[in-house]
Structure 1
Amino acid sequence: MLRTLSAARALGPADFDAALDLCAQDPMVNVFVAARLMEGGPAFSSALLGVESGRRLRSACWMSANVVPVCADEHALDVFAGKLRRKRRRCSSIFGDADQVLGLWSRLESHWGDARSVRSNQPMMAVTTPPLCAGADIDPRVRPARMSELDLVLPAAAHMFTEEIGYPPYVGSDRDYRRMVGSLIRAGHTFVIVEDGRVVFKADVGSLAGNVAQVQGVWVAPDHRGHGLAEPAMNAVVQQIIDEIAPTVTLYVNGYNEPALRTYTACGFRQVGRFATVIL
């Protein structure tokens, strides 16, 4: 029997459980979208589009400032691309599973024009073994940031974003960016080393859903690089996440960033997938 595939439709409260179940098919790959759903609850915004087979949700795509496909096959990519072609100016990036992201971008590039950057090889890595159990060196200075330290964390976060993406996270008022950084600190999801009144190491749990915590925003102050700080600091972050937040820690990293890959591998991370990011 041939499957009947629907056009994309905006998902709503009645689709909440089905959307979470879809994300759960690959919880490490889909943690970003699952986390956004969990944060919004059943009344999540209509940023999520779905494609159904019969009455079963088959694929989805988060369409907001970030575009993130979920379990999208060729048909779903065709449908999502058709919906996205007129939304170029509203999106800052497409990211997620490499095959899905690059497939979607191949359908959009002629309509959206050149990207700032296409990062097609980003190893997605995971660790589940607590560093203490592996006898790893842990930096005891790493701790959750305090709300009173927001003004210390903000420039570190902005420097990291600018280095990674190639442009600053805000122009003019920092109000929205400050709110975002503050929300991570308030949740206990920003880890820092503070020395002499400034942040010299930072890492965030950017997405949390189910048993998976995805780390992002890892940054070492330039004058502290090359001195062996990153590995024990990351070990400390992983240990605290496994102890307090989630048993599986993931991240993704640019394939050309050999120092970062060496650090994460030394911290017990192993590649479990491949991401891609299109920066617009």
Structure 2
Amino acid sequence: MATHPANEAPLSAPVELQNRHRRALTRLYDTRVEANLFQLCWLESHGVEAHARGQFTFWGLFDAERELQAAALDLAGRLVMVEAHDPSRCSEFGAFFLRRGTYFQHIVSRRACAEAFWRTYSAESSVQARLIQHQQLYVLTPAELAGGGEPSGLRRARQDELEAIFLASARMHREETLEDPLERDPEGFRRHVRYRIENGRTFSWFDDRRLLFKADISTRGSLGAQISGVYTDPLHRNQGIATRAMRDLCALLFAQGLPRITLYVNESNEAACRVYRRVGFRYCEPYQTVFIAD
């Protein structure tokens, strides 16, 4: 399908963004830094244009004055994240990707944008949701971090802990998504877990040889970090383990100069929400993940 430069495209047609659009893209995302922290960190690390075709693409919608009004980050046709000043405009991205035959595995965005995208993207029976998770976006700043409490044994995970962290990550994935990664793609999932450990993005707390807690840093940049993959061993839940470990992880990140930390959690997981609130996180806005059926 042909794409158009931003100064030639029809107003309703998404255009593939280029490096010259970086300032406009940043301005759009800056209107909701917490909700768009992943995209802002991605932009900071990778720029607007990928080095190799197909790695990722930023798409934009412009108004009559050629001001950027909405953006979509397409990560290799697997994941899409959408944002807009007017969330209803995300429906144009949904129709666009459906026409292109792009079949994502996940849609992750603040809820109003995700819902608008999904309404048009799922217009054909060939696109169905396996699971729609209503979530809550939380944010924490250094001044809000709860003090006190007994220190945990949290530290960066090591390669020799891969197997324990791999199994814990798989259990967490099953709990959160109702899908077993060991049945879908065990080796691909193992590579993903190994990559995060190798890059210092996984933190763990072991008691002797038993994993009590783990968490991942899904993204980080000058504007902050996002925590994901939080898991506490079922035998050690409701004992303050997660609260202590999360407090220490956030303190570590803030000590490195980060101004904010975000995470999103399933609305139904009230136990996790209580942990985050005890650490000092505050609710920001509704979020949503759509898991798309194969």
- Aligning the two structures, in what range does the TM-score lie when normalised by the shorter sequence? 0.7 to 0.9
1:201-216 equivalences in 2 (<5 Å): 201-216=213-228
Q: Which moved more, 1:50-59 or 1:199-208?
A: 50-59
2:115, 2:148 → 1: CA distance? 37
Deviation track 1:43-101 (CA, whole Å, cap 9, x = no partner) reads 42452211122333221112231121022535632320221225677311112111111
1:172, 1:260 → 2: CA distance? 26
1:10-89 equivalences in 2 (<5 Å): 10-44=16-50, 45-53=55-63, 54-63=65-74, 64-71=77-84, 73=86, 76-86=89-99
Given that residues 12 and 42 in structure 1 are in contact (C-alpha distance below 8 angstroms), is that contact kept between their aligned partners in structure 2? Answer: yes
| Gap regions ≥5 residues in structure 2 | 1-9
Matched, 1:127 2:140: yes
Given that residues 62 and 68 in structure 1 are in contact (C-alpha distance below 8 angstroms), is that contact kept between their aligned partners in structure 2? Answer: yes
Cα 1:116–1:172, aligned 2, differ >3 Å: closer, same or farther?
closer
Q: TM-score, structure 2 length as denominator? A: 0.83
Q: Which moved more, 1:168-177 or 1:89-98?
A: 168-177
Match for residue 264 of structure 1? 276
2:99, 2:127 → 1: CA distance? 12
Match for residue 108 of structure 1? 121
Deviation track 1:218-272 (CA, whole Å, cap 9, x = no partner) reads 0011121222211111111111111126221111111121111111111111111
Match for residue 136 of structure 1? 148
Letter aligned with residue 56 of structure 1: E
| Gap regions ≥5 residues in structure 1 | none
Deviation track 1:195-219 (CA, whole Å, cap 9, x = no partner) reads 2324220111112233221111100
Aligned-residue offset at 1:141:
0.2
SS at match of 1:139: coil
Aligned-residue offset at 1:275:
0.6
2:255, 2:104 → 1: CA distance? 36
Q: TM-score, structure 1 length as denominator? A: 0.87
Given that residues 10 and 46 in structure 1 are in contact (C-alpha distance below 8 angstroms), is that contact kept between their aligned partners in structure 2? Answer: no
Given that residues 110 and 287 in structure 2 are in contact (C-alpha distance below 8 angstroms), is that contact kept between their aligned partners in structure 1? Answer: yes
Cα 1:199–1:87, aligned 2, differ >3 Å: closer, same or farther?
farther
Given that residues 166 and 190 in structure 2 are in contact (C-alpha distance below 8 angstroms), is that contact kept between their aligned partners in structure 1? Answer: yes
Q: How many residues end up aligned between the 2 structures? A: 275
Given that residues 145 and 192 in structure 1 are in contact (C-alpha distance below 8 angstroms), is that contact kept between their aligned partners in structure 2? Answer: yes
